[in-house]
Amino acid sequence: MSKSVPSDAKALWGGRFTTPAAERLRDYTQSVSFDWQLYRHDIAGSIAHAKMLNQIRVLTASELKVIIDGLLEIRAQIDRGQFKWRTDLEDVHMNIEAELTARCPTGAKLHTGRSRNDQVATAMRLWLKEKIAANQGAIAGLQAALETWASRDIKVVIPGYTHLQRAQPVLLAHHLLAYVEMLERDYQRLADCAKRVDVLPLGSGAIAGSTLPLDREFVRKLLGFARVSENSMDAVSDRDFIVEYNAACALLAVHLSRLAEDLILWSSAEFHFIRIGDAYTTGSSLMPQKKNPDIAELARGKTGRVIGNLVALLTLLKGLPMTYNRDLQEDKERMFDTAETVQSTLLIFAEMLGHIEVNADACARAAADPLLLATDLADWLVRKGIAFRDAHHLVGAAVALAEKRKVPITKLTLTEWKKISPVFDKSALEVFSVEKGLAARTTTGSPNPKLVKQQLVRWQNILAERKHPSS
């Protein structure tokens, strides 16, 4: 029977220290207040490591059973919220190991052949693999909400904008599918990031592996990693996978912020294109008439913290020498916060979009602006043999004349059109039909109603095949 080892921090650090840590040092260096979230992943790694130690005859079968039973009991206790975390034990890993050792002295053998350096990196990678899958599920959920909205209001036409000025008519569905495409790039970036997360560092030790015959491939299979790390120094100091994840999430947050801005504009009295359901808006403490799009505004604001997390991580890493440095403790809060922020935003956006009502009349009035088809008129002139730059100038002259006369361009007389260019005739006015204008756009990716319907079917098929946890 192994001798019982005390569970205080000094004992876990070893016999090098002759006095206990100062209280202020313990408070300053502890991370268990936030890294407790890794408990399931730490325990999973410990169970796999214990099984490997049994394989190489460091642990007997009975010792293995005692350790695994103890770890599962601790996990169940944490699940129930009954585990008392100790800040004098620094982190989640030392808390669990100390508790295990207190319950069964055999637990002192568990740390054989591993360091907290490779232990922490393994738990973080396991945690992040789960979060990426959940993020992808939430992205797919938001894409589905956008597709559902687009299908519901497939006939609604709105002005497309450049420089926030009316440009050309588009289907609302086409506009919404633009965000589906943006989110797809986020989905694929996370899928690519997951490949580099899916690497097992356990077995790298503190910096230089182990003199024991550790079977890393055995552990890899148990934990479901794609491969093992190839360099022990890189394995324990690598945080690229967290930076890459945060970078992907920062861009995802930017995309959500852009969607938020459109929803904020569209729900304003000046646009009045949409009404967001009461359950997803807030009021004013002073002005009783107010109905504020706070979810969209908060999402726009939270983008700043996600970008800030990325900058913090890059700054954290930029001056570190090889290999592990305690600075890396600061990576976890940034990772946790980013994951929670983007996940909660994705989920509530998907809900909110299902409670948006389109004001079709307001959209139709805005889309009826004949100037939205000015480029179509220039194209009409091109088909008459006019060079595009000349056609652009002639249509611009017509716009200027209509503004001078304070009438819609469609109210200019044929005589006035002829003064601008003798090429104009009555058929030129046929251009000013939104339906014809949209139907004439047949290039791939354009807002032609038939093409948009094809895109909706395409996305329905893609999203139906995706199966991810979303929460």
Q: Catalytic site residues?
A: 163, 284
How far apart are alpha carbons 62 and 49 in whole angstroms? 15
Backbone phi, then psi, for 270, in 5-degree steps?
Answer: -70, -35
How far apart are alpha carbons 236 and 444 in whole angstroms? 48
Interhelix angle 61-79/92-103, rounded to 10 degrees, is: 120
> What one-letter code names the amino acid at 157?
V
Q: Are the C-beta atoms of 299 and 254 separated by less than 8 Å?
A: no
Q: Counting beta carbons within 10 angstroms of the beta carbon of residue 271, is it exposed (0 to 12), middle (13 to 18) or buried (19 or more)?
A: middle
How far apart are alpha carbons 76 and 68 in whole angstroms? 12
Q: Are the C-beta atoms of 176 and 195 separated by less than 8 Å?
A: no
Closest-CA residue to 160 (of 293, 303, 273, 296): 273
Which residue's entry shows tokens 């994705």? 346
Strand pairing report for 227-228 and 199-200: parallel
* Cis-peptide, bond into residue 323, ω within 30° of zero: yes
Q: Give the distance, in angstroms, between the CA of residue 398 and the centroid of all CA atoms in the same chain.
A: 47
